[in-house]
Structure 1
Amino acid sequence: MKTMATASLASVAELERAFTAFAESARQSLARIDYVHDVSFTSLAKVDHFVFKQNAYLTLDLGIDSAEAQAAREGEHDCRFGSWLASPATASFAGLEAFRRIGEPHAMVHRKVAEAVSLMAQNWEASPKVQDSIFAAFQQAEKASDQVVDLLDRMVREKHGALAGA
Protein backbone atom coordinates (compact mmCIF):
# COMPACT_ATOMS: atom_id res chain seq x y z
CA MET A 1 0.00 0.00 0.00
CA LYS A 2 2.83 2.35 0.92
CA THR A 3 4.50 1.59 -2.43
CA MET A 4 1.29 2.42 -4.29
CA ALA A 5 0.92 5.67 -2.35
CA THR A 6 4.52 6.63 -3.07
CA ALA A 7 4.10 5.80 -6.77
CA SER A 8 0.83 7.71 -6.86
CA LEU A 9 2.46 10.72 -5.19
CA ALA A 10 5.29 10.62 -7.73
CA SER A 11 2.78 10.45 -10.60
CA VAL A 12 0.84 13.41 -9.21
CA ALA A 13 4.07 15.39 -8.76
CA GLU A 14 5.10 14.61 -12.36
CA LEU A 15 1.67 15.59 -13.61
CA GLU A 16 1.90 18.86 -11.66
CA ARG A 17 5.32 19.59 -13.23
CA ALA A 18 3.94 18.86 -16.70
CA PHE A 19 0.93 21.14 -16.17
CA THR A 20 3.15 23.89 -14.75
CA ALA A 21 5.48 23.64 -17.75
CA PHE A 22 2.52 23.68 -20.13
CA ALA A 23 1.01 26.70 -18.38
CA GLU A 24 4.33 28.58 -18.58
CA SER A 25 4.70 27.70 -22.26
CA ALA A 26 1.16 28.91 -22.92
CA ARG A 27 1.86 32.16 -21.05
CA GLN A 28 5.02 32.77 -23.09
CA SER A 29 3.16 32.01 -26.31
CA LEU A 30 0.41 34.47 -25.41
CA ALA A 31 3.01 37.15 -24.60
CA ARG A 32 4.68 36.60 -27.99
CA ILE A 33 1.33 36.70 -29.76
CA ASP A 34 0.46 39.96 -28.01
CA TYR A 35 3.86 41.41 -29.01
CA VAL A 36 3.46 40.37 -32.66
CA HIS A 37 -0.07 41.78 -32.63
CA ASP A 38 1.19 45.14 -31.37
CA VAL A 39 4.07 45.24 -33.86
CA SER A 40 1.59 44.50 -36.66
CA PHE A 41 -0.90 47.01 -35.31
CA THR A 42 1.65 49.83 -35.08
CA SER A 43 3.04 48.89 -38.50
CA LEU A 44 -0.41 49.37 -40.00
CA ALA A 45 -0.66 52.71 -38.21
CA LYS A 46 2.65 53.71 -39.82
CA VAL A 47 1.29 52.75 -43.24
CA ASP A 48 -1.74 55.00 -42.68
CA HIS A 49 0.61 57.81 -41.64
CA PHE A 50 2.82 57.32 -44.71
CA VAL A 51 -0.18 57.30 -47.05
CA PHE A 52 -1.25 60.66 -45.61
CA LYS A 53 2.20 62.09 -46.36
CA GLN A 54 2.25 60.52 -49.81
CA ASN A 55 -1.00 62.30 -50.64
CA ALA A 56 0.65 65.59 -49.74
CA TYR A 57 3.58 64.93 -52.05
CA LEU A 58 1.28 63.79 -54.85
CA THR A 59 -0.51 67.13 -54.56
CA LEU A 60 2.59 68.76 -56.04
CA ASP A 61 2.00 66.82 -59.24
CA LEU A 62 -1.76 66.36 -59.27
CA GLY A 63 -2.80 69.80 -58.06
CA ILE A 64 -4.67 71.34 -55.17
CA ASP A 65 -8.05 70.24 -56.50
CA SER A 66 -7.12 66.54 -56.58
CA ALA A 67 -8.46 63.82 -54.30
CA GLU A 68 -4.94 63.53 -52.90
CA ALA A 69 -4.94 67.22 -51.95
CA GLN A 70 -8.29 66.74 -50.25
CA ALA A 71 -6.88 63.79 -48.29
CA ALA A 72 -3.79 65.84 -47.37
CA ARG A 73 -6.06 68.53 -45.90
CA GLU A 74 -7.62 66.13 -43.39
CA GLY A 75 -7.22 67.24 -39.82
CA GLU A 76 -5.17 65.35 -37.29
CA HIS A 77 -8.30 63.79 -35.78
CA ASP A 78 -9.90 62.96 -39.14
CA CYS A 79 -7.10 60.99 -40.82
CA ARG A 80 -6.91 57.22 -40.39
CA PHE A 81 -3.96 57.48 -38.01
CA GLY A 82 -5.75 60.09 -35.90
CA SER A 83 -8.86 57.94 -35.83
CA TRP A 84 -6.73 54.99 -34.73
CA LEU A 85 -5.17 57.05 -31.94
CA ALA A 86 -8.62 57.96 -30.61
CA SER A 87 -10.07 54.47 -30.96
CA PRO A 88 -10.59 51.87 -28.23
CA ALA A 89 -8.04 49.73 -30.08
CA THR A 90 -5.24 51.80 -28.51
CA ALA A 91 -6.43 51.26 -24.92
CA SER A 92 -3.54 48.93 -24.15
CA PHE A 93 -1.10 51.74 -25.04
CA ALA A 94 -2.93 54.59 -23.26
CA GLY A 95 -0.84 54.48 -20.09
CA LEU A 96 2.48 54.60 -21.91
CA GLU A 97 4.69 57.69 -22.06
CA ALA A 98 5.29 57.28 -25.81
CA PHE A 99 1.55 57.15 -26.47
CA ARG A 100 0.96 60.32 -24.45
CA ARG A 101 3.68 62.11 -26.44
CA ILE A 102 2.62 61.07 -29.95
CA GLY A 103 -0.19 63.63 -30.35
CA GLU A 104 2.03 66.71 -30.70
CA PRO A 105 4.31 65.49 -33.51
CA HIS A 106 1.28 64.01 -35.26
CA ALA A 107 -0.46 67.40 -35.09
CA MET A 108 2.73 69.07 -36.38
CA VAL A 109 2.76 66.79 -39.42
CA HIS A 110 -0.78 67.92 -40.21
CA ARG A 111 -0.01 71.61 -39.66
CA LYS A 112 3.04 71.54 -41.88
CA VAL A 113 1.37 69.48 -44.63
CA ALA A 114 -1.59 71.90 -44.58
CA GLU A 115 0.86 74.78 -44.84
CA ALA A 116 2.62 73.17 -47.82
CA VAL A 117 -0.66 72.43 -49.61
CA SER A 118 -1.87 75.96 -48.96
CA LEU A 119 1.34 77.37 -50.44
CA MET A 120 0.77 75.28 -53.57
CA ALA A 121 -2.14 77.59 -54.40
CA GLN A 122 0.32 80.49 -54.83
CA ASN A 123 1.72 79.77 -58.31
CA TRP A 124 4.55 77.85 -56.70
CA GLU A 125 5.93 76.61 -60.03
CA ALA A 126 7.06 80.17 -60.92
CA SER A 127 8.19 81.33 -57.50
CA PRO A 128 11.46 80.11 -55.96
CA LYS A 129 10.46 81.79 -52.68
CA VAL A 130 7.21 79.81 -52.50
CA GLN A 131 9.07 76.65 -53.52
CA ASP A 132 11.50 77.20 -50.65
CA SER A 133 8.59 77.69 -48.26
CA ILE A 134 6.92 74.48 -49.46
CA PHE A 135 10.21 72.63 -49.09
CA ALA A 136 10.69 74.00 -45.56
CA ALA A 137 7.15 72.96 -44.58
CA PHE A 138 7.75 69.45 -45.92
CA GLN A 139 11.06 69.24 -44.07
CA GLN A 140 9.35 70.15 -40.80
CA ALA A 141 6.56 67.66 -41.53
CA GLU A 142 9.16 64.93 -42.13
CA LYS A 143 10.98 65.76 -38.90
CA ALA A 144 7.71 65.47 -36.96
CA SER A 145 6.85 62.31 -38.89
CA ASP A 146 10.14 60.74 -37.81
CA GLN A 147 9.11 61.44 -34.22
CA VAL A 148 5.71 59.80 -34.79
CA VAL A 149 7.35 56.65 -36.17
CA ASP A 150 9.90 56.58 -33.36
CA LEU A 151 7.16 56.95 -30.75
CA LEU A 152 5.17 54.10 -32.30
CA ASP A 153 8.23 51.89 -31.97
CA ARG A 154 8.78 53.09 -28.39
CA MET A 155 5.18 52.24 -27.53
CA VAL A 156 5.81 48.61 -28.39
CA ARG A 157 9.13 48.59 -26.50
CA GLU A 158 7.57 50.22 -23.42
CA LYS A 159 4.68 47.78 -23.37
CA HIS A 160 6.67 44.61 -24.02
CA GLY A 161 10.04 45.37 -22.42
CA ALA A 162 12.56 42.56 -22.82
CA LEU A 163 10.39 40.74 -25.36
CA ALA A 164 10.70 43.79 -27.64
CA GLY A 165 14.43 44.07 -27.09
CA ALA A 166 14.15 47.08 -24.78
Structure 2
Amino acid sequence: MFAKLFTNNETQQALEKAQQELLQLKQQNEQLSAENESLKAEVVSAQVSLNDNTDNQLLQCALTGLGQVQGIRETVLASFMGIEEESHSIEKVNAAFSKSETALRKILVGMDQLGTNMDKMTANISGLSQMADSINTFVTTISKISDQTNLLALNAAIEAARAGEAGRGFSVVADEVRALATNTNESANEVSDLVKKIIDTTHTTVNAVEEIQASNITLSDSIGHLNDEYEGIVACCDSMKDTILVSTTQTFIQTVKLDHVVWKGDVYNVIIGNSHKGVNDFADHTMCRLGKWWSGEGADKFGAHNAFKRLDAPHKEVHRAGVEAIRKFQSGDPQGAVKQLNQMERASVEVMDLLDQLGH
Protein backbone atom coordinates (compact mmCIF):
# COMPACT_ATOMS: atom_id res chain seq x y z
CA MET A 1 0.00 0.00 0.00
CA PHE A 2 2.85 2.33 0.79
CA ALA A 3 4.40 1.51 -2.57
CA LYS A 4 1.16 2.25 -4.30
CA LEU A 5 0.85 5.58 -2.50
CA PHE A 6 4.37 6.48 -3.44
CA THR A 7 3.70 5.70 -7.01
CA ASN A 8 0.57 7.82 -7.10
CA ASN A 9 2.41 10.66 -5.42
CA GLU A 10 5.21 10.43 -7.93
CA THR A 11 2.76 10.37 -10.73
CA GLN A 12 1.04 13.43 -9.34
CA GLN A 13 4.33 15.28 -9.17
CA ALA A 14 5.20 14.28 -12.69
CA LEU A 15 1.80 15.44 -13.85
CA GLU A 16 2.17 18.76 -12.07
CA LYS A 17 5.64 19.15 -13.51
CA ALA A 18 4.32 18.35 -16.96
CA GLN A 19 1.53 20.89 -16.50
CA GLN A 20 4.06 23.49 -15.40
CA GLU A 21 6.23 22.74 -18.38
CA LEU A 22 3.15 22.89 -20.62
CA LEU A 23 2.22 26.22 -19.10
CA GLN A 24 5.75 27.46 -19.63
CA LEU A 25 5.67 26.24 -23.21
CA LYS A 26 2.32 27.91 -23.70
CA GLN A 27 3.68 31.13 -22.30
CA GLN A 28 6.76 30.82 -24.46
CA ASN A 29 4.56 30.11 -27.46
CA GLU A 30 2.45 33.15 -26.71
CA GLN A 31 5.61 35.19 -26.30
CA LEU A 32 6.99 33.84 -29.57
CA SER A 33 3.67 34.54 -31.26
CA ALA A 34 3.76 38.07 -29.94
CA GLU A 35 7.33 38.46 -31.05
CA ASN A 36 6.38 36.97 -34.42
CA GLU A 37 3.53 39.46 -34.83
CA SER A 38 5.88 42.23 -33.81
CA LEU A 39 8.44 41.05 -36.34
CA LYS A 40 5.75 40.79 -39.01
CA ALA A 41 4.65 44.33 -38.20
CA GLU A 42 8.24 45.49 -38.37
CA VAL A 43 8.69 43.69 -41.69
CA VAL A 44 5.51 45.26 -43.05
CA SER A 45 6.59 48.65 -41.73
CA ALA A 46 10.02 48.17 -43.22
CA GLN A 47 8.42 47.09 -46.49
CA VAL A 48 6.17 50.15 -46.53
CA SER A 49 9.08 52.38 -45.60
CA LEU A 50 11.18 50.77 -48.30
CA ASN A 51 8.38 51.22 -50.84
CA ASP A 52 7.85 54.84 -49.80
CA ASN A 53 11.57 55.49 -50.01
CA THR A 54 11.76 53.78 -53.40
CA ASP A 55 8.77 55.73 -54.68
CA ASN A 56 10.34 58.93 -53.41
CA GLN A 57 13.63 58.08 -55.09
CA LEU A 58 11.82 57.22 -58.31
CA LEU A 59 9.90 60.51 -58.11
CA GLN A 60 13.12 62.42 -57.58
CA CYS A 61 14.70 60.62 -60.53
CA ALA A 62 11.65 61.49 -62.64
CA LEU A 63 11.80 65.13 -61.62
CA THR A 64 15.54 65.21 -62.26
CA GLY A 65 14.89 63.87 -65.73
CA LEU A 66 12.08 66.37 -66.12
CA GLY A 67 14.53 69.11 -65.28
CA GLN A 68 16.36 68.29 -68.49
CA VAL A 69 13.28 69.52 -70.34
CA GLN A 70 14.35 73.04 -69.44
CA GLY A 71 17.46 72.64 -71.58
CA ILE A 72 15.31 71.34 -74.42
CA ARG A 73 12.97 74.28 -73.95
CA GLU A 74 15.86 76.75 -74.22
CA THR A 75 17.00 75.05 -77.43
CA VAL A 76 13.50 75.16 -78.90
CA LEU A 77 13.16 78.78 -77.80
CA ALA A 78 16.43 79.67 -79.51
CA SER A 79 15.16 77.95 -82.66
CA PHE A 80 11.90 79.90 -82.41
CA MET A 81 13.74 83.21 -82.08
CA GLY A 82 15.97 82.33 -85.04
CA ILE A 83 12.99 81.36 -87.20
CA GLU A 84 11.13 84.51 -86.16
CA GLU A 85 14.14 86.63 -87.16
CA GLU A 86 14.29 84.85 -90.52
CA SER A 87 10.57 85.54 -90.89
CA HIS A 88 11.21 89.28 -90.53
CA SER A 89 14.10 89.04 -93.03
CA ILE A 90 12.00 87.23 -95.62
CA GLU A 91 9.28 89.87 -95.18
CA LYS A 92 11.83 92.59 -96.00
CA VAL A 93 13.10 90.65 -99.04
CA ASN A 94 9.55 90.04 -100.18
CA ALA A 95 8.72 93.74 -99.84
CA ALA A 96 11.83 94.67 -101.86
CA PHE A 97 10.94 92.22 -104.63
CA SER A 98 7.36 93.50 -104.67
CA LYS A 99 8.61 97.07 -105.12
CA SER A 100 10.94 95.93 -107.92
CA GLU A 101 8.08 94.09 -109.58
CA THR A 102 5.91 97.21 -109.40
CA ALA A 103 8.73 99.33 -110.86
CA LEU A 104 9.21 96.85 -113.72
CA ARG A 105 5.51 96.94 -114.51
CA LYS A 106 5.63 100.74 -114.67
CA ILE A 107 8.65 100.52 -116.98
CA LEU A 108 6.77 98.07 -119.20
CA VAL A 109 3.78 100.42 -119.36
CA GLY A 110 6.10 103.33 -120.18
CA MET A 111 7.86 101.35 -122.90
CA ASP A 112 4.55 100.31 -124.41
CA GLN A 113 3.54 103.96 -124.48
CA LEU A 114 6.92 104.86 -125.99
CA GLY A 115 6.40 102.23 -128.69
CA THR A 116 2.99 103.69 -129.47
CA ASN A 117 4.44 107.20 -129.69
CA MET A 118 7.23 105.96 -131.96
CA ASP A 119 4.65 104.34 -134.23
CA LYS A 120 2.88 107.70 -134.46
CA MET A 121 6.20 109.47 -135.06
CA THR A 122 7.11 107.02 -137.82
CA ALA A 123 3.72 107.56 -139.43
CA ASN A 124 4.13 111.35 -139.20
CA ILE A 125 7.65 111.25 -140.64
CA SER A 126 6.49 108.95 -143.43
CA GLY A 127 3.69 111.44 -144.17
CA LEU A 128 6.27 114.25 -144.23
CA SER A 129 8.35 112.21 -146.68
CA GLN A 130 5.31 111.75 -148.90
CA MET A 131 4.60 115.49 -148.77
CA ALA A 132 8.22 116.18 -149.70
CA ASP A 133 7.85 113.82 -152.65
CA SER A 134 4.75 115.74 -153.72
CA ILE A 135 6.60 119.05 -153.39
CA ASN A 136 9.46 117.61 -155.42
CA THR A 137 6.96 116.63 -158.11
CA PHE A 138 5.57 120.18 -158.18
CA VAL A 139 9.11 121.60 -158.35
CA THR A 140 9.90 119.31 -161.27
CA THR A 141 6.78 120.55 -163.03
CA ILE A 142 7.76 124.16 -162.34
CA SER A 143 11.24 123.45 -163.70
CA LYS A 144 9.73 122.06 -166.88
CA ILE A 145 7.45 125.08 -167.23
CA SER A 146 10.44 127.37 -166.61
CA ASP A 147 12.44 125.57 -169.29
CA GLN A 148 9.57 125.88 -171.75
CA THR A 149 9.10 129.57 -170.86
CA ASN A 150 12.81 130.18 -171.36
CA LEU A 151 12.62 128.46 -174.73
CA LEU A 152 9.61 130.53 -175.77
CA ALA A 153 11.36 133.73 -174.65
CA LEU A 154 14.39 132.79 -176.70
CA ASN A 155 12.23 132.22 -179.79
CA ALA A 156 10.47 135.52 -179.17
CA ALA A 157 13.81 137.33 -178.96
CA ILE A 158 14.89 135.78 -182.25
CA GLU A 159 11.65 136.88 -183.91
CA ALA A 160 11.99 140.37 -182.43
CA ALA A 161 15.50 140.65 -183.86
CA ARG A 162 14.19 139.73 -187.28
CA ALA A 163 11.51 142.40 -187.00
CA GLY A 164 14.18 145.04 -186.49
CA GLU A 165 13.25 148.37 -184.98
CA ALA A 166 9.61 147.41 -184.78
CA GLY A 167 10.32 144.39 -182.62
CA ARG A 168 12.69 146.08 -180.20
CA GLY A 169 10.08 146.54 -177.47
CA PHE A 170 8.98 142.98 -177.82
CA SER A 171 12.62 141.91 -177.55
CA VAL A 172 12.93 143.68 -174.20
CA VAL A 173 9.88 141.84 -172.90
CA ALA A 174 11.23 138.55 -174.21
CA ASP A 175 14.53 139.18 -172.39
CA GLU A 176 12.69 139.89 -169.14
CA VAL A 177 10.58 136.75 -169.52
CA ARG A 178 13.67 134.68 -170.20
CA ALA A 179 15.43 136.17 -167.15
CA LEU A 180 12.34 135.41 -165.03
CA ALA A 181 12.26 131.85 -166.36
CA THR A 182 15.94 131.44 -165.56
CA ASN A 183 15.43 132.73 -162.01
CA THR A 184 12.40 130.48 -161.58
CA ASN A 185 14.37 127.50 -162.80
CA GLU A 186 17.24 128.28 -160.42
CA SER A 187 14.82 128.69 -157.50
CA ALA A 188 13.09 125.46 -158.47
CA ASN A 189 16.44 123.69 -158.51
CA GLU A 190 17.28 125.06 -155.07
CA VAL A 191 13.89 123.97 -153.76
CA SER A 192 14.41 120.57 -155.36
CA ASP A 193 17.79 120.20 -153.67
CA LEU A 194 16.28 121.24 -150.34
CA VAL A 195 13.39 118.81 -150.75
CA LYS A 196 15.84 116.03 -151.59
CA LYS A 197 17.75 116.81 -148.39
CA ILE A 198 14.46 116.76 -146.45
CA ILE A 199 13.57 113.41 -148.02
CA ASP A 200 17.01 111.99 -147.25
CA THR A 201 16.84 113.28 -143.65
CA THR A 202 13.32 111.91 -143.32
CA HIS A 203 14.41 108.48 -144.50
CA THR A 204 17.36 108.58 -142.11
CA THR A 205 15.07 109.63 -139.24
CA VAL A 206 12.54 106.91 -140.09
CA ASN A 207 15.31 104.31 -140.10
CA ALA A 208 16.65 105.60 -136.78
CA VAL A 209 13.17 105.56 -135.24
CA GLU A 210 12.59 102.03 -136.54
CA GLU A 211 15.90 100.92 -135.02
CA ILE A 212 14.98 102.56 -131.70
CA GLN A 213 11.57 100.94 -131.87
CA ALA A 214 13.14 97.54 -132.54
CA SER A 215 15.49 98.06 -129.59
CA ASN A 216 12.55 99.16 -127.48
CA ILE A 217 10.64 96.00 -128.40
CA THR A 218 13.66 93.83 -127.56
CA LEU A 219 14.18 95.65 -124.27
CA SER A 220 10.47 95.43 -123.49
CA ASP A 221 10.52 91.68 -124.11
CA SER A 222 13.58 91.31 -121.86
CA ILE A 223 11.97 93.33 -119.10
CA GLY A 224 8.79 91.32 -119.58
CA HIS A 225 10.73 88.09 -119.03
CA LEU A 226 12.48 89.68 -116.06
CA ASN A 227 9.12 90.70 -114.65
CA ASP A 228 7.86 87.13 -115.04
CA GLU A 229 10.92 85.90 -113.15
CA TYR A 230 10.32 88.50 -110.45
CA GLU A 231 6.72 87.33 -110.16
CA GLY A 232 8.01 83.78 -109.72
CA ILE A 233 10.48 84.95 -107.07
CA VAL A 234 7.76 86.91 -105.27
CA ALA A 235 5.48 83.85 -105.35
CA CYS A 236 8.34 81.74 -103.98
CA CYS A 237 8.99 84.32 -101.26
CA ASP A 238 5.31 84.32 -100.36
CA SER A 239 5.39 80.53 -100.07
CA MET A 240 8.56 80.67 -97.96
CA LYS A 241 7.00 83.36 -95.83
CA ASP A 242 3.91 81.23 -95.20
CA THR A 243 6.07 78.18 -94.39
CA ILE A 244 8.25 80.17 -91.99
CA LEU A 245 5.18 81.68 -90.31
CA VAL A 246 3.73 78.20 -89.79
CA SER A 247 7.08 76.93 -88.47
CA THR A 248 7.37 79.97 -86.20
CA THR A 249 3.92 79.36 -84.75
CA GLN A 250 4.52 75.64 -84.26
CA THR A 251 7.92 76.22 -82.65
CA PHE A 252 6.47 78.83 -80.31
CA ILE A 253 3.65 76.48 -79.34
CA GLN A 254 6.15 73.73 -78.55
CA THR A 255 8.11 76.25 -76.48
CA VAL A 256 5.12 77.26 -74.34
CA LYS A 257 4.16 73.60 -73.93
CA LEU A 258 7.63 72.94 -72.56
CA ASP A 259 7.21 76.05 -70.37
CA HIS A 260 4.18 74.39 -68.80
CA VAL A 261 6.00 71.12 -68.25
CA VAL A 262 8.87 72.96 -66.53
CA TRP A 263 6.41 75.04 -64.49
CA LYS A 264 4.62 71.90 -63.25
CA GLY A 265 7.99 70.30 -62.50
CA ASP A 266 8.79 73.28 -60.27
CA VAL A 267 5.51 72.72 -58.40
CA TYR A 268 6.33 69.06 -57.78
CA ASN A 269 9.87 69.92 -56.69
CA VAL A 270 8.50 72.28 -54.04
CA ILE A 271 6.09 69.62 -52.76
CA ILE A 272 8.72 66.86 -52.39
CA GLY A 273 11.21 69.27 -50.85
CA ASN A 274 13.66 69.63 -53.73
CA SER A 275 12.90 73.35 -54.06
CA HIS A 276 12.31 76.15 -51.56
CA LYS A 277 10.30 78.39 -53.87
CA GLY A 278 7.29 80.13 -52.42
CA VAL A 279 3.90 80.64 -54.03
CA ASN A 280 4.91 84.20 -54.90
CA ASP A 281 7.77 82.84 -57.00
CA PHE A 282 5.31 81.28 -59.47
CA ALA A 283 4.22 83.59 -62.29
CA ASP A 284 0.58 84.51 -62.72
CA HIS A 285 -1.03 83.08 -65.86
CA THR A 286 -1.04 86.55 -67.43
CA MET A 287 2.69 87.05 -66.87
CA CYS A 288 4.13 83.82 -68.29
CA ARG A 289 5.19 83.56 -71.95
CA LEU A 290 1.88 82.02 -73.03
CA GLY A 291 -0.17 84.61 -71.13
CA LYS A 292 1.68 87.55 -72.68
CA TRP A 293 1.35 85.97 -76.14
CA TRP A 294 -2.36 85.29 -75.59
CA SER A 295 -3.11 88.94 -74.80
CA GLY A 296 -0.82 90.34 -77.52
CA GLU A 297 0.49 88.81 -80.72
CA GLY A 298 -1.63 85.68 -80.35
CA ALA A 299 -4.83 87.72 -80.22
CA ASP A 300 -3.86 89.45 -83.47
CA LYS A 301 -3.18 86.16 -85.28
CA PHE A 302 -5.70 83.75 -83.75
CA GLY A 303 -8.31 85.98 -82.13
CA ALA A 304 -11.09 84.45 -84.23
CA HIS A 305 -9.97 80.83 -83.64
CA ASN A 306 -12.29 78.85 -81.36
CA ALA A 307 -9.38 77.03 -79.66
CA PHE A 308 -7.74 80.38 -78.90
CA LYS A 309 -10.93 81.71 -77.30
CA ARG A 310 -11.13 78.61 -75.06
CA LEU A 311 -7.45 78.65 -74.08
CA ASP A 312 -7.42 81.27 -71.32
CA ALA A 313 -9.69 79.44 -68.83
CA PRO A 314 -7.74 76.13 -68.54
CA HIS A 315 -4.45 78.03 -68.65
CA LYS A 316 -5.58 80.12 -65.70
CA GLU A 317 -6.69 76.94 -63.91
CA VAL A 318 -3.26 75.31 -64.33
CA HIS A 319 -1.59 78.21 -62.52
CA ARG A 320 -4.28 78.49 -59.86
CA ALA A 321 -4.36 74.76 -59.05
CA GLY A 322 -0.56 74.46 -58.99
CA VAL A 323 -0.15 77.33 -56.54
CA GLU A 324 -3.07 76.08 -54.44
CA ALA A 325 -1.50 72.59 -54.26
CA ILE A 326 1.64 74.14 -52.76
CA ARG A 327 -0.46 76.06 -50.21
CA LYS A 328 -2.37 72.91 -49.25
CA PHE A 329 0.80 70.88 -48.81
CA GLN A 330 2.56 73.56 -46.79
CA SER A 331 -0.50 73.89 -44.53
CA GLY A 332 -0.45 70.14 -43.75
CA ASP A 333 -3.22 69.02 -46.12
CA PRO A 334 -1.56 66.47 -48.46
CA GLN A 335 -4.90 65.08 -49.66
CA GLY A 336 -6.04 68.56 -50.61
CA ALA A 337 -2.69 69.08 -52.38
CA VAL A 338 -3.16 65.86 -54.37
CA LYS A 339 -6.66 66.99 -55.36
CA GLN A 340 -5.31 70.30 -56.65
CA LEU A 341 -2.48 68.54 -58.49
CA ASN A 342 -5.00 66.33 -60.27
CA GLN A 343 -6.98 69.44 -61.19
CA MET A 344 -3.78 71.07 -62.47
CA GLU A 345 -3.01 68.04 -64.66
CA ARG A 346 -6.54 67.92 -66.11
CA ALA A 347 -6.37 71.61 -67.01
CA SER A 348 -2.86 71.10 -68.42
CA VAL A 349 -4.10 68.33 -70.74
CA GLU A 350 -6.77 70.70 -72.05
CA VAL A 351 -4.19 73.48 -72.57
CA MET A 352 -1.93 71.13 -74.54
CA ASP A 353 -4.84 69.97 -76.70
CA LEU A 354 -5.93 73.53 -77.51
CA LEU A 355 -2.36 74.53 -78.34
CA ASP A 356 -2.11 71.57 -80.72
CA GLN A 357 -5.30 72.76 -82.43
CA LEU A 358 -3.75 76.18 -82.95
CA GLY A 359 -0.59 74.61 -84.39
CA HIS A 360 -2.42 72.68 -87.12
**TM-score, normalised via structure 1 length:** 0.71
Gaps of 5+ in 2: 1-209
Deviation of the 1:152 alpha carbon: 1.5
Q: Give the distance between the partners of 1:118 and 1:68, measured in 2 at CA.
A: 9
Q: 1:104 aligns with which of 313, 332, 353?
A: 313
Q: 1:80 to 1:34 in 2, by over 3 A?
A: closer
The one-letter code of the counterpart of 2:297 is: A
User: Which residue matches 1:164?
Assistant: none
Matches for 1:5-154 after TM superposition, within 5 Å: 11-62=222-273, 66-67=276-277, 69-72=279-282, 74-86=283-295, 88-90=296-298, 91-123=300-332, 130-131=334-335, 133-154=336-357
In 2 relative to 1, CA 77–13 (structure 1 residues): closer, same or farther, beyond 3 Å?
Answer: closer
Question: How large is the Cα RMSD of the aligned pairs?
Answer: 2.8
Q: 1:45 touches 1:84 (CA, 8 Å); kept in 2?
A: no
1:56 shift after superposition: 0.8
Amino acid at match of 2:293: W
Which structure features the higher share of helix residues?
A: 2
Contact 1:98/1:154, CA 8 A, preserved across alignment: yes
Cα displacement string for residues 20-49 of structure 1 (whole angstroms, at most 9, x for unaligned residues): 211111110111111111112222222222
Q: Which moved more, 1:141-150 or 1:3-12?
A: 3-12
Tell me the CA shift for residue 137 of structure 1. Answer: 2.1
Q: Which has the higher contact order (CA 8 A, sep 6+)?
A: 1
Percent identity between matched residues is 24
**Is contact 1:55-1:69 (8 Å) kept?**
no
Query: 1:42-90: CA deviations, max 9, x gaps?
Result: 2222222222211111111227x82265434x4322334323323x332
Displacement of 1:17: 2.8
Secondary structure at 1:67's aligned position in 2? coil
Bigger shift: residues 97-106 or 9-18:
9-18
| Aligned 8 A contact 2:279 2:327 in 1 | no
Shift in alpha-carbon separation, 1:4–1:82, aligned structure 2, 3 A: closer
List runs of 5+ in structure 1 lacking aligned partners.
125-129, 158-166
Normalising by structure 2, we get a TM-score of 0.36
Residue 5 of structure 1: how far off its partner (Å): 7.7
Aligned-partner Cα distance in 1 for 2:279–2:310: 27
Question: Structure 2: which amino acid aligns with 1:40?
Answer: T
Measure how far apart 1:12 and its partner are.
4.7
CA distance in 1, matches of 2:318, 2:227: 55
Larger Rg, first or second structure (1 or 2): 2
Deviations along 1:75-132, one digit per CA (max 9) or x if unpaired, are: 322334323323x3323222322211100111121232133112202435xxxxx34x
Q: Which whole-Å CA distance do the structure 2 matches of 1:79 and 1:9 have between them?
A: 57
Question: Do the aligned partners of residues 68 and 32 (structure 1) sit closer, same or farther apart at CA in structure 2, a change above 3 Å counting?
Answer: farther
